[in-house]
Amino acid sequence: AYRYYVLDDPTIEDAVYDDWMRELEALEAAHPEHADPASPTRRIGGEPLTGFVEYTHREPMLSLANARGDEELADWDRRARATIAQEGLGDRPVAYVVEPKIDGLAISLTYEDGVFVRGTTRGNGVSGEDVSANLRTIRAIPLRLRAEAETPRLVEVRGEVYLPLDAFAALNEQRAAAGEPTFANPRNSAAGSIRQLDPALAAGRPLAIWCYALGAVEGLELASQQEIHAWLRAAGFPVNPGIRAVGSIAEAGKQARGWEERRNTLNYDIDGAVIKLDDLTLQRQMGSVGRAPRWAVAYKFAPTTATTTLNDIQISVGRTGALVPFAVLEPVVVGGVTVSMATLHNQDDVARKGLM
């Protein structure tokens, strides 16, 4: 499962995997004395829940200040450096890490002595909902940390659950064909899958995750953001392979713009890049303003939504004779392209937007 869902590099046929899974189920049924809550057979647990329990994060889940464009990014960097100087942290060279800002559902995963014990939503940042049963169904989330990584007494792993874009398109097609309402965007479909009470439903959605940070940690000393990523990878979590460490804010800006140029080639939505100071000692000493840490900033991309006028609705005739209405729009620039037509196949969306 690790090779398939995390490394994306399986070494056995799917049919062999299925056979082994059945064999494991039979062995566990025959030897209940070896029951293991971290067994891969324990992903989908039983009955729908009647409600979610509130959970207070040991470390709050912070939000991020925004920077739009190079000037605001340079401003953030000046303020960060001023704080470093003020704190007497000196003139040492500053390293930054640039990560994609995943547009999904923020979650926190708690492991005690290497075993998954709880998964929660971000909520208001201080407390969220216990959605363990749904998160357990995500095959890329380890139920036990890999032995390659040092195992802390306790660790909260932070990441973003998302639905890959190809899976989102397939899901909406299925729902439309079944006469069910479609999801407005991948983020809503991921959030909707996690924030509902039936784990069997979550298990049926091919949800994925990128991990990028830690909350509370006991019994593990890490010195930098890069070491966090290395630990996460070794412990078995998916960490985005495009993350880079750089030595200057100019270089960080370049990386962030690189993500903006590549965003349409990815199989997940991103709405910016996150630039973080690499050094965790600096991070701790710099602290936060309100909910937003001084040591990180979200480099926001140009928006991909825009408002325009519906000039006409025209109808094309498909190959099978189906009549397909489409919108003729007042051309509008959005996400770097000019949009002048749009499909109108989603009646719920047409109604929601009040198109007339």
Interface residues toward ligand IVH, by CB under 6 A: 61-64, 99, 101-102, 106, 122, 160, 212-213, 274, 293, 296, 298
Q: How far is the CB of 195 from ligand IVH (least distance, A)?
A: 14
Question: Looking up tokens 């014990």, which residue turns up?
Answer: 117
Q: Is 203 or 239 the residue whose CB approaches ligand IVH more closely?
A: 239
Cα–Cα–Cα angle for 238, 243, 247, rounded to 5 degrees: 150
Q: How far is the CB of 267 from ligand IVH (least distance, A)?
A: 16
The token pair at 67 is: 């920077």
The token pair at 84 is: 């470093």
Please identify the residue of the shown chain whose CB is closest to the bound ligand IVH: 106
HSE, CB side, 13 Å, CA atoms: give it for residue 343: 6
SS3 296: strand
Of 168, 177, 182, residue with least CA distance to 352: 182
> Hey, how many other C-beta atoms are within 10 angstroms of the C-beta on 256?
25
Q: Is 160 or 279 the residue whose CB approaches ligand IVH more closely?
A: 160
Catalytic residue among 101, 276, 300, 353: 101
| Residue 59 contacts residue 42 (beta carbons within 8 Å) | no
Q: Is 64 or 191 the residue whose CB approaches ligand IVH more closely?
A: 64
The token pair at 30 is: 């025959």
Q: Is 5 or 212 the residue whose CB approaches ligand IVH more closely?
A: 212
Cα–Cα–Cα angle for 98, 244, 104, rounded to 5 degrees: 50
Q: How far is the CB of 166 from ligand IVH (least distance, A)?
A: 20
Q: How far apart are the first and last CA of the chain?
A: 49
Q: How far is the CB of 102 from ligand IVH (least distance, A)?
A: 4
The token pair at 255 is: 């990386």
Q: How far is the CB of 313 from ligand IVH (least distance, A)?
A: 37
Known catalytic membership, residue 101: yes
Q: Is 57 or 101 the residue whose CB approaches ligand IVH more closely?
A: 101
Cα–Cα–Cα angle for 334, 340, 341, rounded to 5 degrees: 110
Q: Which residues are catalytic?
A: 101
